[in-house]
Amino acid sequence: MMERDARRGRYGSRKRDRLIQFRLPVTTENAAGEPVQTSLADAGQAFAAVSYGKGQERRSAGIEGNDLPATFITLQNPTTRAITEGHLILYAGGQWDITSAVPFERDEMEFTAVRRTSLNQGA
Protein backbone atom coordinates (compact mmCIF):
# COMPACT_ATOMS: atom_id res chain seq x y z
CA MET A 1 0.00 0.00 0.00
CA MET A 2 1.31 3.40 -0.94
CA GLU A 3 2.19 5.78 1.90
CA ARG A 4 0.37 9.08 1.91
CA ASP A 5 2.41 12.24 1.49
CA ALA A 6 1.86 14.13 4.77
CA ARG A 7 2.26 17.49 3.04
CA ARG A 8 -0.83 16.91 0.92
CA GLY A 9 -3.18 16.19 3.83
CA ARG A 10 -6.06 13.79 4.15
CA TYR A 11 -7.45 14.28 0.67
CA GLY A 12 -4.15 13.96 -1.16
CA SER A 13 -3.77 16.45 -3.96
CA ARG A 14 -7.38 17.58 -3.77
CA LYS A 15 -7.48 21.36 -4.01
CA ARG A 16 -9.12 23.70 -1.57
CA ASP A 17 -10.73 25.73 -4.35
CA ARG A 18 -14.24 26.48 -3.02
CA LEU A 19 -14.78 29.70 -1.09
CA ILE A 20 -16.96 29.16 1.97
CA GLN A 21 -18.21 31.76 4.43
CA PHE A 22 -18.69 31.24 8.15
CA ARG A 23 -21.58 32.93 9.92
CA LEU A 24 -22.74 33.01 13.55
CA PRO A 25 -26.49 33.28 14.17
CA VAL A 26 -27.27 36.22 16.49
CA THR A 27 -30.74 36.55 18.02
CA THR A 28 -32.11 39.95 19.04
CA GLU A 29 -34.55 40.14 21.93
CA ASN A 30 -37.35 42.63 22.62
CA ALA A 31 -37.87 44.42 25.97
CA ALA A 32 -39.67 41.35 27.36
CA GLY A 33 -36.68 39.13 26.57
CA GLU A 34 -38.43 37.32 23.73
CA PRO A 35 -36.46 36.50 20.57
CA VAL A 36 -37.67 38.71 17.73
CA GLN A 37 -35.04 38.56 15.02
CA THR A 38 -32.12 36.38 14.03
CA SER A 39 -29.31 37.70 11.87
CA LEU A 40 -26.04 36.18 10.73
CA ALA A 41 -22.81 37.80 11.90
CA ASP A 42 -19.76 37.43 9.68
CA ALA A 43 -17.20 35.04 11.21
CA GLY A 44 -14.74 34.87 8.29
CA GLN A 45 -14.18 32.86 5.17
CA ALA A 46 -11.81 30.21 3.85
CA PHE A 47 -11.07 28.16 0.79
CA ALA A 48 -12.10 24.53 1.23
CA ALA A 49 -12.07 21.14 -0.44
CA VAL A 50 -15.69 19.95 -0.41
CA SER A 51 -16.76 16.32 -0.28
CA TYR A 52 -20.46 15.43 -0.32
CA GLY A 53 -22.01 12.37 1.34
CA LYS A 54 -22.00 8.97 -0.28
CA GLY A 55 -24.18 8.34 -3.33
CA GLN A 56 -26.90 6.58 -1.36
CA GLU A 57 -27.02 9.45 1.17
CA ARG A 58 -27.42 11.98 -1.66
CA ARG A 59 -30.21 9.97 -3.30
CA SER A 60 -32.00 9.53 0.03
CA ALA A 61 -31.72 13.25 0.79
CA GLY A 62 -33.21 14.15 -2.58
CA ILE A 63 -36.08 11.68 -2.40
CA GLU A 64 -37.03 11.93 1.26
CA GLY A 65 -36.04 15.51 2.03
CA ASN A 66 -33.36 14.38 4.48
CA ASP A 67 -30.27 16.31 5.48
CA LEU A 68 -27.49 16.29 2.88
CA PRO A 69 -24.07 15.85 4.54
CA ALA A 70 -20.81 17.39 3.36
CA THR A 71 -17.25 17.67 4.63
CA PHE A 72 -15.30 20.90 4.23
CA ILE A 73 -11.49 20.74 4.62
CA THR A 74 -9.70 24.08 5.18
CA LEU A 75 -6.30 25.16 6.35
CA GLN A 76 -5.96 25.82 10.07
CA ASN A 77 -5.63 29.46 11.03
CA PRO A 78 -7.01 31.62 13.86
CA THR A 79 -10.31 32.10 12.00
CA THR A 80 -10.99 28.43 11.25
CA ARG A 81 -9.88 27.28 14.71
CA ALA A 82 -12.49 29.64 16.26
CA ILE A 83 -15.39 28.04 14.33
CA THR A 84 -17.67 25.76 16.40
CA GLU A 85 -20.86 23.76 16.01
CA GLY A 86 -22.81 26.96 16.71
CA HIS A 87 -21.71 28.46 13.39
CA LEU A 88 -23.09 28.04 9.87
CA ILE A 89 -21.34 27.66 6.53
CA LEU A 90 -22.70 29.55 3.53
CA TYR A 91 -21.88 27.59 0.39
CA ALA A 92 -23.52 26.71 -2.92
CA GLY A 93 -26.51 28.95 -2.28
CA GLY A 94 -27.43 27.36 1.04
CA GLN A 95 -26.84 27.36 4.76
CA TRP A 96 -25.03 24.36 6.18
CA ASP A 97 -25.31 23.58 9.91
CA ILE A 98 -21.92 22.57 11.29
CA THR A 99 -22.18 19.31 13.22
CA SER A 100 -18.46 18.80 13.81
CA ALA A 101 -15.41 21.10 13.72
CA VAL A 102 -12.13 19.32 14.43
CA PRO A 103 -8.45 19.95 13.70
CA PHE A 104 -6.94 17.37 11.39
CA GLU A 105 -3.21 16.73 11.52
CA ARG A 106 -1.16 19.90 11.95
CA ASP A 107 -2.45 22.17 9.26
CA GLU A 108 -6.06 21.33 8.37
CA MET A 109 -9.52 21.75 9.86
CA GLU A 110 -12.36 19.37 9.04
CA PHE A 111 -15.93 20.65 9.22
CA THR A 112 -18.83 18.26 8.83
CA ALA A 113 -22.11 20.00 8.04
CA VAL A 114 -25.63 19.21 6.86
CA ARG A 115 -27.96 21.08 4.55
CA ARG A 116 -31.71 20.55 4.51
CA THR A 117 -32.75 19.57 1.01
CA SER A 118 -36.07 20.47 -0.53
CA LEU A 119 -38.11 18.64 -3.14
CA ASN A 120 -38.16 21.64 -5.49
CA GLN A 121 -34.45 22.37 -5.20
CA GLY A 122 -32.79 22.67 -8.58
CA ALA A 123 -36.11 23.18 -10.40
Provide the pLDDT for residue 55. 53
Mean of per-residue pLDDT scores for the chain: 80
CA dist., res. 9 & res. 22, Å (int): 22
Query: What's the pLDDT tens digit per position in 84-104?
Result: 999 999 999 999 999 999 998
Beta strands in 1-123 (DSSP E): 18-29, 35-52, 67-75, 88-91, 94-104, 108-116
DSSP state of 6: G
State yes or no: pLDDT of 73 exceeds 80: yes
Neighbours of 46 (CB within 10 A): 22
Its pTM stands at 0.75
User: Could you tell me what percent of the chain has a pLDDT over 90?
Assistant: 50
Facing residues of 88 across strands? 23, 97
